C-alpha cells in the first residue's frame, strides 16, 4: 500500500481495489497467526494446570506422604518456569499482534466502502468482502487466563 499523502484520506492511502485486497489478505494471514498463537497459549496453560494439579496427586500416590511436599514444590516450580520462560513471551506477542490486527481491520473497514464505490464493485464482490471482514471479531477470544493483556 502507498503511504498516506499529506491531506489525503484513507481511501487515497489504500489506493485501489488490488491494494485493498492485498491488505485484506495480509490481515487474514495475521488473523490466522493470532489464532495459532491462541491455541499455543491455551496448550501452555493446560500444561501448567497439569503440572500444578495432576503432578502433586501422582507424586502423592507414588511416593507417599514423606516426599509429597517436595514433589509438589517441584510441580509448582515447573509451572512458574513455564509461565516466565514460555507463556509470558507468547502472550506479549499475542497482545502486539492483536493490536496490529485491530489497526489493520479498522483501516480496511474505513476504506472498504470508498474503494468499492469508486471502482463500482459487483454486489457479489461487496458481499464476499463484507463476509471476509466479518471474520475479524472485535473482542478477544478466550478466557482471561488464556490471553489477557498483561
Where is pLDDT greater, at 86 or 148? 86
Where is pLDDT greater, at 18 or 52? 18
- Given a cut of 60, is residue 132 above it in pLDDT? yes
What is the tally of structural domains in the chain?
A: 1
| Per-residue pLDDT tens over the stretch 36-65 | 999 999 998 888 888 778 877 877 787 777
The answer to whether residue 6 sits within a structural domain is no
Q: Distance (Å, rounded) from C-alpha 104 to C-alpha 33? A: 14
Average pLDDT over residues 130-144: 74
The answer to whether residue 43 sits within a structural domain is yes
The answer to whether residue 129 sits within a structural domain is yes
Phi, psi dihedral angles at 28 (to 5 degrees)? -65, -40
pLDDT of residue 75: 80
The answer to whether residue 85 sits within a structural domain is yes
What the block records as the C-alpha cell of 106 is 479498522
Where is pLDDT greater, at 13 or 96? 96
pLDDT grade, residue 1 (50/70/90)? very low
The answer to whether residue 1 sits within a structural domain is no
Q: Distance (Å, rounded) from C-alpha 61 to C-alpha 77? A: 20
- In terms of Cα–Cα distance, which of 11, 1, 3 is closest to 113? 11
- Given a cut of 90, is residue 105 above it in pLDDT? yes
In angstroms, how far is the first alpha carbon of the chain from the final one?
Answer: 32
The answer to whether residue 4 sits within a structural domain is no
pLDDT of residue 47: 83
Q: Which domain holds residue 39?
A: 11-137
Long-range Cβ pairs for the range 36-43 (8 Å, 24+) = 37/90, 37/93, 37/94, 37/97, 38/94, 38/141, 38/142, 38/146, 38/147, 40/90, 41/87, 41/90, 41/91, 41/94, 41/142, 41/146, 41/147, 42/142, 42/146
The answer to whether residue 38 sits within a structural domain is yes
The answer to whether residue 91 sits within a structural domain is yes
Amino acid at each position: 500500500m502507498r503511504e498516506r499523502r499529506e491531506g489525503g484520506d484513507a481511501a487515497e492511502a489504500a489506493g485501489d481495489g488490488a491494494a485493498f485486497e492485498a491488505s485484506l489478505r495480509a490481515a487474514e494471514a495475521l488473523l490466522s497467526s493470532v489464532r495459532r498463537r491462541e491455541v499455543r497459549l491455551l496448550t501452555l496453560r493446560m500444561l501448567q494446570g497439569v503440572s500444578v494439579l495432576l503432578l502433586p496427586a501422582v507424586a502423592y500416590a507414588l511416593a507417599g506422604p514423606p516426599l509429597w511436599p517436595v514433589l509438589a514444590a517441584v510441580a509448582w516450580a515447573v509451572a512458574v518456569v513455564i509461565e516466565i520462560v514460555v507463556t509470558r513471551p507468547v502472550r506479549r506477542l499475542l497482545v502486539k499482534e492483536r493490536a496490529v490486527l485491530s489497526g489493520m481491520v479498522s483501516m480496511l473497514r474505513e476504506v472498504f466502502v470508498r474503494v468499492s464505490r469508486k471502482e463500482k464493485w459487483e454486489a457479489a464482490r461487496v458481499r464476499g468482502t463484507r463476509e471476509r471482514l466479518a471474520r475479524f471479531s472485535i473482542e478477544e477470544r478466550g478466557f482471561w487466563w488464556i490471553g489477557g493483556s498483561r
